[in-house]
Amino acid sequence: MLEKCRNAKDRWGGVSTIIDHWLEERQRLISVFVSIPTQEVGSPLNSSVGEFCDLLMDYLSSGHFEVYEQLLREGSEFADGSLEQAQEIFPHIQPSTDSALDFNDTYGTLGNMTLQQVCQLARELSELGETLEERFALEDQLIEILHNAHKELVEST
């Protein structure tokens, strides 16, 4: 997952400040996500899960309220069908938003965890990881469709 994030940043880095910042947020989110299983149960684990939830909410908010809007605005400037393609992707992103919000509701402010909660956390982290990987792929498609497809046109004008 981390390597895919680096590849996306290499491909789209420098394209816009908002996308660059968002891809950096994604990389930080993934870094904290992969560190969680190595944390000791207790304060270190609670702290890492809390940090992950904070980063997750920031990442989702940036995507929905900054990046997607910018991409849609850029795509609407071109009458090439890219906006319609992107509109087909958005409904596939929403379930991952719902899963992430549910995860945050459960673990964002959780205190000391019981053994049962730690086991549940492990299962839910695994499921969320798969969901986020799918989301990142869809978001990369949005960037490709709405931004990169027009990059040459913008540069030639």
**pLDDT tens digits along 30-84:** 999 999 999 988 888 899 999 999 999 999 999 999 888 888 877 777 677 788 8
DSSP codes joined into one string, 23-81: HHHHHHHHHHHHHGGGSPTTHHHHHHHHHHHHHHHHHHHHIIIIIHHHHHHHHHTS-SS
The C-alpha angle 84, 95, 102, rounded to 5 degrees, equals 150
- pLDDT beyond 50 at 14: no
Percentage of the chain with pLDDT > 70? 82
Verdict on whether the full-model pTM lies above 0.85: no
**DSSP sequence for 70-103:** HHHHHHHTS-SSHHHHHHHHHHHHHHHHHHHHHH
| Number of structural domains the chain divides into | 1
pLDDT in tens, 122-131: 999 999 999 9
| Residues spanned by the domain of 16 | 2-156
Domain of 79, CATH number, reads 1.20.120.1370
Instruction: Give the pLDDT confidence of 100-151 residue by residue, as tens digits.
Output: 999 999 999 878 888 898 999 999 999 999 999 999 999 999 888 877 555 5
In this structure, what is the dihedral angle of CA atoms 34, 36, 38, 42, given to the nearest 10 degrees? 180
